[in-house]
Structure 1
Amino acid sequence: MKVMVGLDESNGSLYALEWVVSNILKPKQDTDHTLHQNQDLLVYLVHVNIPFQTYVYPAGPVVYTTSSVLESVRQAQDQISAGIFARAMDTCHKNEIKAEAINLRGDPKEEICQAADQKQVDLLVVGSRGLGMLKRAFLGSVSDYCAHHVKCPVLIVKPPKELADKQELVQRKA
Structure 2
Amino acid sequence: MLPEEPRVVVGVDDTPASRWALIWAVGAARLRSMALVAVHVSRAPVHPFPEALPYTHAVRQLEEARSVELIQTLFDDMAGGAPPDISTLAIARLGEPGPLLVELARPTDLLVVGRGRRGALDRLLFPSTRRYCTSHARCPLVIVPTPPGSDTMTGFGFASRPAWIRWLSPRHPAE
- Tell me whether 1:53 sits opposite 2:46 in the alignment: yes
2:30 to 26, 29, 33: 26
Classify 1:52/1:71 alpha carbon distance in 2 versus 1 (closer, same or farther; 3 Å): same
1:7 to 7, 12, 17: 12
Contact 1:89–1:99 (CA<8 Å) still a contact in 2? no
Question: Could you say which structure has the higher strand fraction?
Answer: 1
SS at match of 2:82: helix
Classify 1:132/1:49 alpha carbon distance in 2 versus 1 (closer, same or farther; 3 Å): closer
Percent identity over paired residues? 28
Contact 1:4–1:45 (CA<8 Å) still a contact in 2? yes
Classify 1:138/1:25 alpha carbon distance in 2 versus 1 (closer, same or farther; 3 Å): same
Contact 2:68–2:92 (CA<8 Å) still a contact in 1? no
* 5+ residue gaps, structure 2: 1-5, 155-175
- Tell me whether 1:74 sits opposite 2:60 in the alignment: yes
- What's the RMSD between the two structures over aligned residues? 3.1
Aligned equivalents of 1:138, 1:52: Cα separation in 2: 14
Classify 1:77/1:138 alpha carbon distance in 2 versus 1 (closer, same or farther; 3 Å): closer
Q: Write the mapping of 1:107-126 to structure 2, written as runs, cut at 5 A.
A: 107-116=96-105, 119-126=106-113
SS at match of 1:43: strand
Contact 2:12–2:38 (CA<8 Å) still a contact in 1? yes
TM-score (norm 1): 0.66
TM-score (norm 2): 0.66
**Structure with greater Cα Rg:** 1
**Cα distance, 1:165 vs structure 2:** 6.0
Q: Which residue does 1:31 correspond to in 2?
A: none
Q: Which residue does 1:130 correspond to in 2?
A: 117
Deviation string, structure 1 residues 42-96 (Cα, Å, up to 9, x no partner): 111111122212367xxxxxxx95423x455334422321222213455473361
SS at match of 1:26: helix
Contact 2:63–2:94 (CA<8 Å) still a contact in 1? no
Task: Please identify, of 90-99 and 6-15, the stretch whose mean Cα deviation from structure 2 is larger.
Answer: 90-99
Contact 1:42–1:99 (CA<8 Å) still a contact in 2? yes
1:106 to 95, 100, 120: 95
- Tell me whether 1:86 sits opposite 2:72 in the alignment: yes
- Tell me whether 1:156 sits opposite 2:143 in the alignment: yes
**Cα distance, 1:25 vs structure 2:** 3.2
Aligned residue type for 1:18: I
Question: Could you say which structure has the higher helix fraction?
Answer: 1
Aligned equivalents of 1:78, 1:104: Cα separation in 2: 6
State the number of aligned residues. 145
